[in-house]
Every structure is written in C-alpha cells, then in structure tokens.
A and B are shown apart, each in its own frame.
Chain A
C-alpha cells in the first residue's frame, strides 16, 4: 500500500492507483471530463486530454492530471487551491472557446457534462474567443447524429468503439486544429463498419454524438386522424424508465409506462415481449431442426446456431465475420416480427390498409432505429416498423405532455399482441434469449415439462459465459457474450475450430444486454444501475403466470388462425430474413 496525503487528509491505496482514485477513497471530488471508468466492462478512458482534473503535487513544478498521475509514497496533493482552480477555469475556457454556444437548443442540453462543469466552475461570459473552425458537416444516420463541432476530443467514443466493442469505426484523425474523431476516410458512418450499437452516444459527454430523435414524428402520427397508431414496448424499457423520474434503478414501471402511452393517445399498446415469444417459437424450432440435422450427421455444420435478435450484433457479423454468415438463426428480431405481424395479421383484423397503421417501437436501443429503416423490412416503401423512440426520448415526451407518471394508475397491455410470458421478458438481459429458447426447445424436444424453469447458470454479468443443458441425453453447450468485444472473442473461438464444441450462442451487443442499451437513461459508467435493471427483469419473469413462450395463448391462436406451423411457409415469409456479407471499412 502507498501512503499519501490529499488536502491534508491521509490515505493508503494500492500501488499503481491514480491520484483520482485515491481522492475518491477519501470522498474528495475532483472534477473530470474526459475520464470515464466503466468498471465491469473493463473500460477506462484516461486520455488525460482535457486537463480539467489538474491538481498540485508538492515538489512538482507543473500541475498534474489526477486521472493519469500514479501515487507515490509520501506524496502530498492539493486539489483546491487558487492556482488549481484558476488552471481549471482556463482549461474550461479554452475548451469552450470554439465550442458552439447553442446550448438552449442542443440535443444534449440538461445531460451535458461540459455544461455541468461550466456551471460548477462558474464560467461567466467568454473571455477567450478564438477562431471557430466548422469544417465538419453533420453526419446523420437513421440511428445517430454526429456533430463534430461539439466534440471536445475526450476520445471516450473511440475507446468504447475500439477497446470495448472492438468495432473500429472511429479514430482520431488529422492534427492540430483540424484534429477530430472520425471514420476511415471521413466516410458517413452508414458506409463504415459502424454497427449502430450507439455505445459511443451513451458515453459522449457533449452533444457531439446523439440519437436521431423520432419523437416529433410520433406526435405528428398521433395527431393524424387518418392513422391508427400502435406501439410495442421492449422488455428493458420498463425497468429503466423510472430512473428518468427519480425512481430507484430497477424500479418496475410496466403499468405506469402502459398508462402513459395510452394517455398520449396510442390506439393500442402492445408488447415486444409478445413477439419475443414468437421469436422463440421460430428460433426454438430452428434450433431443434438444426440439432436434429447435427445429431443425424446429416449436416455437421448445422450447429452452432447464433441468436439474431440484436441488430447491432447482426451488423457486426455481416461486416466482420463473413466466414460465419451462415450460422445466425434466420429468425427476424422481435421488433421486426412485431412489425411484420402488426401490418399483416393485425391490420387485417382491424380491416385497415397497412399504410394507415403506424407502428411505433419503444426501445432501449439505437440500432433498432437503423434496423427498422432497412430495405428488407418494408413492403412497397412502407416500413413494418415506422418509428422508433428510445427510453430517453419517451421520458422527454412524458415531460413535454405534462404527464405526471407517478400519479398514473397502472394499466394493462391490449389484446392480442400485448399478451406475453416471462420468457419474452428476459430477452432484455444478457443470457435471457437463450434461456427462453432452452425453456421451449427442451419441452418440445423431450415432450415433458421442465422441473426447474430457471437456468441460473446462463445468468450473470461475466462478459463471456458457458453453460450446459441436458436435452434428452444430449449435452447442449451454450455460449453467451455481451458487449461486442466479448462477442468477438467468442466468435473467433468458434471460427478457429470451436474447441469447446459450443452448439448455441447468444450475443447482445451492449454491455449487460438491452438493459445497457444506448437509448436508456444515461448510467454514466455506474454498473450497479445495470445490475439493478437486470434484477428487475428476472423479478418480472418470476412473477409471471406464464413463463414459457409456447404456452402463450395469443401465440397459439396466431399460429392456429394465421401462421400455420413454426418454420412453415407463411412463417418463413413473414418472420424470417437473410444476411448479407457487407464489405465495409
């Protein structure tokens, strides 16, 4: 242990700690900006580029950045004298000297760390005004918007994209005043290996990276008397929405969320958990089909099978693992299955044209915005899912519409696309999709009920996990990864010979799964929040009357009256898709 003094207080910390960590052990808050520590994802961004955290170290001539300065025995640190405070103010003034001053209308207003810091340091007026170079056009994709004039070069997005997600879409380019974080050859993000996971947006401290907001378009649809507007809600939204209204992380807001949506004027409030159950019917049937082929030695390459619910994950495979393009399940994601069924089965039921039915998704995710936009998910130019709003956008809409969510009575989902099981619910957490699939595949294969519904060994927070399930005497080896960097290591293992003989793989692109999606309330690196959300997900499953997708009566009815059999002709046409190798840089 190393002994040092910070602001006169003694502390002992492990060797290799930084001054910032030592100060935190003493509950001394040193302001930071570029620094970000996402403990459980093993990500620490310590570019030490912003210099906001400078402190005075006795015996050292220059001020030192607390985030990147290691402690030493007998060190004496001052975090708050006039010299330090002046330096921080100058650093901040320089940082904002060429930053756009459109805070009133900035998308990040209220959630901007640069703004918070400027407030903390009481910056008033602009004493330093330099040349503002605005050479970077806004890059607008269906999922996210890059406005690099607002970039402060903290490099958090770059660390996230390259170290945690290993996507490699972003890099610092050019030098001096022209330096900026960009893509290869400054291509629009749509033309790069970007998976639209949006984790860069989730860590950006300023308005440089934000989501492509659909809420105004949702208001317009709701106000159009010629349209029937329905909404589907993803499982992870209800366990995070409360945070936006001061509730504890992990608060379960299902009833109030449904009530708020009805209050806004949606004609029907449905559940993505319903189409998650539907996904399990198709993906489970495909798993069994491929397992049979594998066991009969008909096709040794029938396994492993990969889950395909996560669009960022699918984008990742398509651009980075062309040699594995044949292994994901052909089942569409729950969002797209919902859109497809809503615009066929449900539109028929209502007796209206699909063009007059607006399908809105409420998602924890930015990639879902891009997925909804993809060409194969449209019929004659009419998208199966028209608009996608995130948990954050929805929280803003609730405020804008003067809805007091705390006072709303709990309300129920509508029939029939609002009926779901606990299996659909757990899709929101890492490990959940494969557990739901196993519950159904096991019973369909063995024809006898599971003794224990919970598969505890598939749950958890480890980046890569392996579980084993006995199905009729065959041990099914299951691999689970969350975060694309972990997914990459699992996929490389499978590609290079699959030594652990993994048969089924679940991947979710975001750390924690959808609960950690880039559209959720900002968790600012606090993984306890993610764990609380995960706990709530399993809590809802535990308290559900129905916990297996194949027991969902609305699903049984849908197959009986409309779809036919899982993997049948109509199911194939409406619920399955193709993947394409995409050569991107």
Chain B
C-alpha cells in the first residue's frame, strides 16, 4: 500500500492538490477530483490522499464512507445514478431502480461484467421538481417512468 506514495501514479492528483491555496477544509474537493480522475477511490488512493493532505486515513475513509457519491469500487463506463431522496422516492424511484436492475442484471453498487454500466443510488440531487431523477454520467433525466428505462440504457448501450 505504501508503494503508491513513492511512485508518480497519482501525479495528476498531486498537481491538483499542490495548486490549492490551502489544504485545510479541502478534503472533499480533493476526493471529488480524485474520483472524477480515477473513476473510484481505492484504498491505496485514500492512503495517498491522507498523506498528501496531512490527515489520517481513518478520516479520509470516514468522509468517503459517509457520502454516497464516493465509491470504493470501480464504476462502469456509464454510471447510472438514481436519486432516492424523499421527493424522488415518493414519486416511485424505487420502481425505477428495480427496472434498471432488471434491465442490466446487476444490483445497486455493482458494475456489469463488460464494464459498461454501473448502478448507484444517490441522496437528493436538489432537482426535486423533476422527481424522480436519474443521472447518467452527470446528464440529468427528469420525471423518468419505468417505461423509459430501457430507452435510456439503449441510448448508451450502442455508444462506443
């Protein structure tokens, strides 16, 4: 695990951290950047971030495990996130989740065998007016119905 700190495997991230005016209070921003850059936050990356930021690995893990946006598992090429916040939930987000599970054959938190899709659940994205909301790599789909699920998947299934 310690090896990563000595290699320049995380060079991109290090440059980002070094460019920050202060490290204090910036952990979440750094984690966001790391997840966007590497797709997920494996243990060795969290250890590296802890050292670089001068905080304990336990604290980094505490933050990573608290926010559902952060993932310790590799995500698929297309990450489908379904909002399970209160507004989306009462408007049937659970049924949307079930439909995606059926369509992709994976559980929430898993990635398809071909690495194409992963499925995750989010807490409120702040677009309650569009409930239920689905995000695919950040693109927002609002007022999604069960019938639309297959179409959304197909939109990406045949993309390269």
Contacts and interface: CB of A to CB of B under 8 A. Distances in A.
Interface of A: 162, 167-175, 182-185, 192-193, 583, 585
A174 B66 contact: yes
Given A173-B65, A175-B66, A585 B47 contact: yes
A170 B66 contact: no
B62 A171 contact: yes
Interface string B13-44: 00000000000000000000000000000010
Contact of A168 (B1, B43, B57, B65): B57
A172 B62 contact: yes
17 contacts: A162-B59, A167-B56, A168-B59, A171-B59, A172-B66, A173-B65, A174-B65, A184-B46, A184-B47, A184-B56, A184-B57, A185-B46, A185-B61, A193-B57, A583-B2, A585-B1, A585-B57
Interface of B: 1-2, 43, 46-47, 50, 55-62, 65-66
Contacts, number: 52
A184 B59 CA distance: 7
A222 to B, nearest CB: 40
A168 B46 CA distance: 14
Contacts of A183: 58
B56 A169 contact: yes
Given A173-B65, A174-B66, A585-B47, A184 B60 contact: yes
A44 to B, nearest CB: 19
B121 to A, nearest CB: 13
Contacts of A173: 58, 61-62, 65-66
Nearest to B62: A171
A169 B2 contact: no
B55 A168 contact: yes
Contacts of A172: 62, 66
A162 B54 CA distance: 12
Contacts of B1: 583, 585
Nearest to B43: A185
Contacts of A171: 56, 58-59, 61-62
Contacts of B61: 171, 173, 184-185
A193 B61 CA distance: 14
Given A583-B1, A585-B1, 14 more contacts: A162-B56, A168-B55, A168-B58, A168-B59, A169-B58, A171-B56, A173-B58, A175-B65, A182-B58, A184-B47, A184-B60, A185-B43, A193-B57, A585-B50
A192 B43 CA distance: 13
Contacts of B2: 583
B52 to A, nearest CB: 14
A193 B55 CA distance: 13
B89 to A, nearest CB: 15
Nearest to A183: B58
A183 B55 CA distance: 13
A192 B60 CA distance: 14
Nearest to A182: B58
Contacts of A167: 56
Contacts of A192: 58
Contacts of B46: 184-185
Contacts of B58: 168-171, 173, 182-184, 192, 585
A563 to B, nearest CB: 39
A492 to B, nearest CB: 11
Nearest to B63: A171
A166 B55 CA distance: 10
A173 B58 CA distance: 8
Contacts of A583: 1-2
A183 B56 CA distance: 10
Nearest to B44: A585
Nearest to B5: A583
A174 B61 CA distance: 9
B141 to A, nearest CB: 26
Contacts of B43: 185, 585
A294 to B, nearest CB: 32
A9 to B, nearest CB: 41
Nearest to A193: B56
A49 to B, nearest CB: 15
- The CB with the most chain A CB atoms within 10 A, among B2, B47, B57, B66, is that of B57
